[in-house]
Amino acid sequence: MRLRTPSMSKAIDLVLSQVVPFALAAITTFATAGILGTADRGRLALILSTGGLIGAIGFLSLHVGIVHATVRGDRTATRRGWLVGAGIAAGVLVVGVIGGLFIPPAADASTLYGRNTVIFASIGGALVLFNLVVLRTRQGLGASRTFRNAWFIQSAVFPLAGLPVAVITHDPYAVAVCWFVALIASTLYAAFRRMPDAASGDAVHVPTRSIVATALASHVAVLGQQLLFRGDIVVLGFFVSAQQLGIYSVAAPIAGMIWVFSEALSLLAFDTGGKVQTPEETRARRRRLVAVNAIVGGIGAVIVALLSWLLIPWLLPEYVDAIPLILILLPGVVVQGYARITLSSVLTSGDRRAPLWIGIGSALLSVVYIPLSALLGIVGAAIASSIIYALQSVLVAIVVRRSRNQRSEQLA
């Protein structure tokens, strides 16, 4: 039997859905770094990272349960899953804003996690949460172009609105409001686009409880991933100054540019087009994607390192201390591409145990951020990141291999 390969147009759509947003995000990072200065850039980064982590934790990977239910023939799964997501987002918003109001205004002068940061991060977290549910559902059901366009909208609106606001106000909180606007615009676009039918045959009803249960089983793995990706800045907020956090907030996304291609390939691994794949098809596809990522990631790391060394002293002299951080981060970033692709592929298989163990292990690994950040500051966070990324890839490889061997023994 010939293995089904993804269409070239879909692959291009998914790559573009990452390339343009990453390019716009890089422009936003560099521009806000230059306009706001290191301290206010650090405050803005803390709002974005904390809000992003809240949303990534709270969205519960509902798209996984929705996609599985839709593939089985449930034509109401999307609507019901989105309602669950909206309810969770509303809860995050209420709890975060009310909790923030109890923090004394004077705390903003003594800690990075003052009233304004908590309230703004909570608003952003609620918006990110629902945005992830909507966009990931669209992508998982094969609407890669809608997913791409929604990311374009979000990525373009933020700098188009945020950079003029930064120039006028020099206020990180005003810039964060522009991020909120971008998230809302992206979500509305994706939510109201017509979806092609992904299910065939007689309609079935999958209970909302089952949709959530399926999602939660996969979400443990995603949760571990997000703690690895976003935990560094969130943890650093407790141990370093706003200026130091601003420097790190420039280094991390520069090194993370390598993930442009890795993330596109991981989305391609998850995209089933609403169809069920055999284990053999899934493994063959994953091997191809991992091989491509290793080649492109290695070349990309060399390019990023050279450009950082040449351009940062010229364009952002206040951030020259970011250069060694970038060099520390790059090896782990390249290796971690394997974990992204493999985990995304595993999520399409319906295997609940492998994502569970990967998530638990990843969450435990993320604890390393705390002692190294406390002892060595931003250098410690960079070292911790690279170590954690590499160890997570090893963890994913071990768990996936054991899971495959167990299934083979059961079939024997």
Q: What is the pLDDT of residues 17-27, one digit of tens each?
A: 667 777 888 88
> Which two tokens mark 305?
């390192």
Reported as a pLDDT band with limits 50, 70 and 90, residue 352 is low
pLDDT at 3: 40
Round to whole Å and give the CA distance between 224 and 58: 13
Buried b (16+ CB within 10 A) or exposed e, 369-406: bbebbeeebbbbbbbbbbbbbbbbbebbeebbeebeee
Reported as a pLDDT band with limits 50, 70 and 90, residue 16 is low
pLDDT at 313: 95
Q: Name the residue with higher pLDDT: 371 or 16.
A: 371
Reported as a pLDDT band with limits 50, 70 and 90, residue 5 is very low
pLDDT at 286: 67
Section 233-243 average pLDDT: 95
CA distances from 220 to 60, 329, 345 (A): 8, 25, 15
Contact criterion met (CB below 8 Å) for 126 and 93: yes
- In the predicted model, is pLDDT for residue 354 greater than 50? yes
Q: Which amino acid is at 157?
A: V
State pLDDT tens for residues 179-228: 999 999 999 999 998 765 544 555 788 899 999 998 987 787 678 878 88
State pLDDT tens for residues 315-351: 999 999 999 999 999 999 998 888 878 877 666 655 6
pLDDT at 378: 97
Section 97-114 average pLDDT: 88
Count the helices and strands in the chain (H runs, E runs).
Answer: 13, 0
- In the predicted model, is pLDDT for residue 233 greater than 60? yes
- In the predicted model, is pLDDT for residue 392 greater than 60? yes
State pLDDT tens for residues 32-76: 999 999 999 999 999 999 999 999 999 999 999 999 898 888 888
pLDDT at 234: 96
> Which two tokens mark 260?
């442009």
Contact criterion met (CB below 8 Å) for 40 and 195: no
Reported as a pLDDT band with limits 50, 70 and 90, residue 123 is very high
Nearest to 348 by CA among 228, 221, 226: 221
pLDDT at 162: 97
